[in-house]
Amino acid sequence: MRKTKRIIGIDPGLAHTGFGIVDYCCGKIALVSYGVIETPAEEEHSVRLLSIYNRLLAVIDEFKPDEAEMETLYFSRNSSSAMSVAEAKGVISLCLAQQAIPLFYYTPNQIKSCVTGTASADKKTVELYVKILLNLRVEPKPDHAADALAGAITHIHTKYI
Q: Would you name the residues annotated as active-site residues? A: 11, 71, 144
Q: What is the dihedral of CA 108, 154, 18, 23, to 10 degrees?
A: 180
Closest CA to 146 of 125, 130, 122: 130
Euclidean distance between the first and the last CA atom of the chain, given in angstroms as a whole number: 17
Q: Go through 50-79 and write b for each residue having 16 or more CB atoms within 10 A of its CB, e for each that does not.
A: ebbbebbeebbeeeebebbbbbebeeeeee
Cα(133)–Cα(155) distance, rounded to whole angstroms? 14
60 CB contacts (<8 Å, ≥6 apart)?
8, 95, 96, 99, 101
